Amino acid sequence: MKTIDELLTEGVAGRRVFVRADLNVPLDGTTITDDGRIRAVLPTVAKLAEAGARVVVASHLGRPKGAPDPAFSLAPAAARLGELLGADVAFATDTVGDSARATVAGLTDGQVAVVENLRFNAGETSKDDAERGAFADRLAELADVYVGDGFGAVHRKHASVYDLPARLPHYAGYLIATEVGVLKKLTTDVKRPYAVVLGGAKVSDKLGVIDHLLEKADRILIGGGMVFTFLAAQGHEVGASLLQEDQIPVVKEYIERAKERGVEFVLPVDVLVAGEFPDMKTKAPAHPATVAADAIPAGQMGLDIGPESRKLYASKLADTATVFWNGPMGVFEHPDYAEGTRAVAQALIDSPAFTVVGGGDSAAAVRILGFDENAFGHISTGGGASLEYLEGKTLPGLAALEG
């Protein structure tokens, strides 16, 4: 995989460089609530601009249905990128149409433009190779060189991620190079003890990574809504908690495999419960009760790990050399259910280990709960991409850059 440093050595002044970024930021109307992904691509964009490239930045945002939708416009992200660069960023109101062609043609050396949401075009996400390829052909007309730096999308076989690199000289940006280097430390060059903390709502979303990590990890700590399927697999009642009954057999199998391989599964010993899901708009006090994890009352739902579990999890992370964390421990967006996630984040900071926060809700939690991002070894920009890499899957976007 050739990197941006090799491209810069070759020279980029006056060349149109297409940067496939990940500007898929959360929006409240037109207000960006977390600009972490924009900051992540900043080193690549800034370096290319400084070297005199005419930089064309493209990304998706949200899940529009293959047609323009103002709710998913990249205009706010383009404006924020300009603020972070300290320079004007041009914005094309389409992706491959008249506005995009005119905007790119108007760039001078060192200038940056953002084109509109790639997913406003059905060809971007099409499963038909010809339709995707036709869209990639039109994108290729806007550039001389391709730089892949949207790590959060490399697990997608999309036109701008998979097909476009085959049509242009292609290089990996700084973000992708960093992400791949970090993930190798979690798969092929692991320092032990190696602990994995997995949370989030559904155990089905994490089965693949658990299956793969049973061969690599020394400890797997489970939290979030997915923990109740594990508790049910051990024969415990879980009340009204989130439960995927159809996954209980495979969870039982994983627990047995873990015992056979000497991998420690760590489950909470207590949980915070309430009779209903908290009001996420008003964040009104929820008044949860703390109960033993094996004694959740009927009609009560578990919404966070409890205080004894927080201590237990911190102790299991204290002597590690490598930690990967993906998924919150509870409904961290509500203050009454944020302490489990906060405790895990603090335990990672306190640990001497190389710590990786695996994108998605975990990365959002770090920022929302006010932690210093620099206190962690690495915060990934791609939760899904990180998990698929750890599952041992081939990621289309990385394969395209290596081709």
Token readout for 121 is 């075009």
**Catalytic option among 358, 360, 382, 383:** 360
> Cα–Cα distance between 258 and 251 in angstroms, integer?
10
> Cα–Cα distance between 61 and 76 in angstroms, integer?
11
Per the annotation, the verdict on 101 as an active-site residue is no
Token readout for 180 is 């791949």
**Catalytic option among 173, 200, 224, 384:** 384
Per the annotation, the verdict on 184 as an active-site residue is no
> Cα–Cα distance between 231 and 251 in angstroms, integer?
10
Q: 3-class secondary structure for 319-339?
A: CCCEEEEECCCCCCCCHHHCH
**Catalytic option among 101, 185, 202, 257:** 202
> Cα–Cα distance between 56 and 90 in angstroms, integer?
9
The DSSP bridge partners found for residue 345 are none
CA distances, 315 to each of 219, 229, 262, 366 (Å): 12, 24, 18, 20
Per the annotation, the verdict on 202 as an active-site residue is yes
Pairing of strands 322-326, 194-198: parallel
**Catalytic option among 15, 16, 37, 316:** 37
Per the annotation, the verdict on 127 as an active-site residue is no
Q: Which residues form the catalytic set? A: 37, 202, 360, 384
